[in-house]
């Protein structure tokens, strides 16, 4: 069973979010397991304090290393021998998280320990001593690591076999093969005067597949030129689709 332990000052919020919907049901079926840990419970301070002033001055507070270290140690003490464990610290100075990271974390480890910072962050010595990698959710700053931890946990756990009905649920999605997903439609056929593209009603599976690929390519080109530049579109079908996209764009101008 794939396991994730989240060290946080808000265990209920984090636990509740991952106890719902698809990940919640996967937990009920013992396919995955998420445990949250209150960092404050591990503070040896009489007032259960988990932060202190920053050395060198400045605003705010920094989370002390001791409760974080002891909390992680408690989790490690409960790990099975041979379990491949990875400790992650959510941090805006980390490497920005991608789908490739979600796949790597699923494939290379059995258990993730994710530490959520708060205030101005955590004492650097905890990171040096305990953290295998620092992961950022993006180039912005949040008040705490809980949202990034939820995002990482969700992205990894939905890739665990059995969590989604079949592999196609995620291999056919944005970012799996370097493309953005094609547009999706559901009933009714016409809504607010907007009709579903006719081809999707044709029942012609091969033409639908080609249309979807074309839409994926054109969307990626328009919205994510950085991703588009990395695509290999040298296959016969893709070359033909590219020509169609160019012609359509030329007509639209
Ligand atoms: C207010 S932030 C600290 C920011 C830090 N002083 C800095 O300037 O880099 C508090 C906590 O939120 C989390 N956090 C904030 N932004 C994040 C991001 N983009 N990705 C991952 N974690 C983030 C981290 O755990 C961090 O310790």
- H or E segment and range at residue 168: helix 168-171
> Which residue's C-alpha comes closest to atom 17 of ligand 1?
92
Determine the pLDDT at residue 252.
Answer: 75
CATH class of 190-252: mainly alpha
* Calpha distance 171→151 (Å, rounded): 18
Q: Which is it for strands 51-52 and 32-38: parallel, antiparallel or unpaired?
A: unpaired
Ranges of each domain in the chain = 2-157, 190-252
* Calpha distance 30→22 (Å, rounded): 12
Determine the pLDDT at residue 172.
Answer: 86
What pTM, to 2 d.p., does this model score? Answer: 0.95
* Calpha distance 2→34 (Å, rounded): 9
> Ligand 1 atom closest to Cα of 140?
19
Q: Ligand 1 centre from 219 Cα, in Å?
A: 31
> Ligand 1 atom closest to Cα of 119?
10
135, 149 Cβ separation under 8 angstroms? no
Determine the pLDDT at residue 253.
Answer: 63
Ligand 1 pocket mutation, candidates 68, 142, 150, 151, criterion most atoms within 8 A of CB: 142
Q: Ligand 1 centre from 91 Cα, in Å?
A: 5
CATH of domain 2-157: 3.40.1280.10
Which residues contact ligand 1 via a Cβ below 6 A?
A: 90-93, 116-118, 120-122, 136-138, 140-145, 148
The pLDDT tens digits along the chain (253 residues) read 999 999 999 999 999 999 999 999 999 999 999 999 999 999 999 999 999 999 999 999 999 999 999 999 999 999 999 999 999 999 999 999 999 999 999 999 999 999 999 999 999 999 999 999 999 999 999 999 999 999 999 999 999 999 999 998 888 899 999 999 999 999 999 999 999 999 999 999 999 999 999 999 999 999 999 999 999 999 999 999 999 999 999 987 6
* Calpha distance 112→116 (Å, rounded): 13
228, 220 Cβ separation under 8 angstroms? yes
Q: Ligand 1 centre from 225 Cα, in Å?
A: 28
> Ligand 1 atom closest to Cα of 139?
19
Q: Ligand 1 centre from 56 Cα, in Å?
A: 19
Give, in order, the Cα–Cα distances in Å from 234 to each of 216, 237, 241: 16, 8, 11
């Amino acid at each position: 069973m794939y396991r994730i332990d989240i060290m946080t000052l808000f265990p209920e919020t984090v636990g509740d979010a991952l106890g719902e919907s698809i990940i919640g049901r996967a937990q009920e079926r013992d396919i995955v397991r998420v445990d949250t840990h209150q960092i404050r419970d591990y503070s040896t301070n009489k007032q259960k304090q988990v932060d202190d002033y920053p050395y060198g001055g400045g605003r705010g507070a920094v989370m002390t290393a001791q409760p974080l270290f002891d909390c992680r140690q408690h989790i490690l003490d409960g790990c099975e021998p041979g379990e491949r464990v990875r400790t992650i610290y959510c941090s805006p100075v980390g490497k920005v998280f991608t789908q490739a990271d979600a796949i790597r974390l699923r494939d290379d480890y059995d258990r993730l320990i994710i530490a959520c910072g708060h205030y101005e962050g955590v004492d650097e010595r905890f990171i040096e001593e305990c953290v295998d990698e620092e992961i950022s959710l993006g180039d912005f700053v949040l008040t705490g690591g809980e949202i990034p931890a939820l995002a990482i946990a969700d992205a990894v756990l939905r890739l665990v076999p059995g969590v989604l009905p079949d592999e196609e649920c995620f291999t056919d999605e944005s970012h799996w093969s370097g493309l953005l997903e094609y547009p999706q439609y559901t009933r009714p056929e016409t809504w607010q005067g907007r009709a579903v593209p006719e081809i999707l009603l044709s029942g012609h599976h091969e033409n639908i597949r080609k249309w979807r690929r074309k839409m994926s390519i054109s969307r990626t080109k328009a919205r994510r030129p950085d991703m588009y530049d990395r695509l290999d579109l040298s296959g016969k079908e893709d070359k033909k689709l590219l020509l169609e996209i160019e012609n359509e764009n030329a007509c639209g101008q």
